[in-house]
Amino acid sequence: MTGAGTWSLGESDYNRISEHLTELLRESDARSAMVVDRTGQLLANAGEALSFDATVFASLTAADFSANDQLAKMIGEPEFASLFHQGKKESMYLADVGRRLILVVLFDQRTTVGLVRLRVKQTVEDLSKLVVEMFNRPPTDKDAAKGGLLEGADDEIDKLFGD
Amino acid sequence: MSMINYASREINCKLVYYGPGLGGKTTNLEHVYGKVSPDKRGKMVSLATESERTLFFDFLPVDLGTIRGFKTRFHLYTVPGQVYYNASRKLILKGVDGVVFVADSQMDRMEANVESMQNLYDNMAEYGYDVTKIPFLIQYNKRDLPNAASIPELQQQLNPGWEVTEARKQRNAPDPNNEGEWLVTQIDGTWVERAPFVESIAVNGDGVFETLRHVAKLVLKTLS
């Protein structure tokens, strides 16, 4: 491979991720949850409306995880599979999902880190199975017929940039 | 790694501004932030030291328009230019779709430019990425300064080119944006390709959007 490549998130996978997040929130009493990819792009979120810029938040969580991965290696650990940041009122719990995605859970005093950690474990297992499926799925005939989303769109791209 | 999100109907791409310390990478993002209307961009985040040197990265998400019903959303990142911060610089390159190398045109920064360019090639190679195969553009910044090196000199030092082995690419390609320059040509019987370049004075905004548009277009064309 010469570059980072492309991947796409279909609506059915998005819906399944959202369902897992909703279930996690119901069982853990956490406020909100999101799934971010390792490059910092937000895939899905559920729960209370976020009062901050979710795109920026997603990029920072990926950077947080990457920096901690390197710290883990330096002390002889293959990785830190989860991170916990404790605040006075608000806290967050981050967990690796199949080395591809990061699950981020925001919670307050209505629940405990113990309960969040316990419920996250199940969600990580469910999402990991989904990740394996998503990234190993062979392209369907429909995909092959459709080609890339922007196939043949050179003129439109030129127009977008005023050329 | 670009992601096409069919649920939110967005194409997300990651661009990284690379280059030596104090070359103008953060200035590029600040200019974009200041000029793009707030509904087309997100918040700009800078993880910097107290003296405003980039410690980890700057980040700015920008929407560049809609294509086939999908919003094209570019995530712009800078890296810390100082040699000391290589570990964090490398992390930012993960999943990159396009790179802008912001070179400092000043004569006395030539060595720092060359060192940073070498560092870019090395860090990209560690991820298995090849700079010569991805959308890559060089921005020669600070063109207004009296001690700026000439373009041929900068090109020779930072953009000497690489051999073109694919037969279909072995044909003369003049650089449409820089008269008298070429992107692909034959030198001493060998076909050579160079990265496109843009001249800039980022502190005034000159060349900043030209750079962004150029590299964003290259990235989208890799999807077409």
User: What pLDDT does A48 receive?
Assistant: 96
pLDDT in tens, A68-91: 998 999 999 999 999 999 999 999
Looking at the structure, tell me whether residues B184 and B200 fall in a common domain. no
Interface contact flag, A53 B42, Cβ < 8 Å: yes
Q: Are residues B138 and B183 in the same domain?
A: no
Residues B187 and B211 in one domain: no
Domain count, chain B: 2
Spans of chain B below 50 pLDDT: none
Distance from CA of B92 to the nearest CA of A (A): 8
Are B29 and B136 in the same domain? Answer: yes
Phi, psi torsion values for B46, nearest 5 degrees: -125, 120
SS (H, E, C) B54-82: EEEEEEEEEEEEEECCEEEEEEEEECCCC
Q: How far is CA B65 from CA A157, B5, B200, in A?
A: 10, 15, 24
Task: Round to whole Å and give the CA distance between B119 and B121.
Answer: 5
Indicate whether B174 and B99 sit together in one domain: no
Indicate whether B172 and B105 sit together in one domain. Answer: no
Question: From the candidates A150, A155, A158, A163, which should be mutated to test the interface with B, based on the most B CB atoms within 10 A?
Answer: A150
Instruction: Check whether residue B8 and residue B58 sit in a common domain.
Output: yes
The range of the structural domain enclosing residue B129 comes to: 3-159+196-222
Calculate the alpha carbon distances from B116 to B98, B122, B159 in Å.
17, 10, 13
d(CA A80, CA A71): 9
Residue A1 pLDDT exceeds 70: no
Give the CATH fold of the A11-160 domain.
Beta-Lactamase (3.30.450)
Local confidence band at A145 (pLDDT 50, 70, 90 cut-offs): very low
With beta carbons less than 8 A apart as the criterion, state whether B115 and B20 touch: yes
B137 and B80 share one domain: yes
ipTM of model: 0.81
pLDDT at B202: 98
Same-domain status, B27 and B11: yes
CATH number of the domain bearing residue B155: 3.40.50.300
Statement to judge: residues B82 and B60 lie in one domain: yes
**B75 and A70: CB-CB below 8 Å?**
no
Q: Are residues B78 and B166 in the same domain?
A: no
One domain, residues B119 and B170: no
Asked whether A54 and B42 are in contact (CB, 8 A), the reply is: no
Beta strand B182-187 pairing with B173-174 = antiparallel
For chains A and B, count residue pairs whose Cβ atoms are closer than 8 Å: 144
Q: What is the pLDDT of residues A99-136, one digit of tens each?
A: 899 999 999 999 999 999 999 999 999 999 999 998 88
Q: Where are the domains of chain A?
A: 11-160
Cβ–Cβ gap A150/B67 under 8 Å: yes
Report the percent of chain A where pLDDT is more than 90.
Answer: 71
Distance from C-alpha of A56 to C-alpha of B60, rounded to nearest angstrom:
8
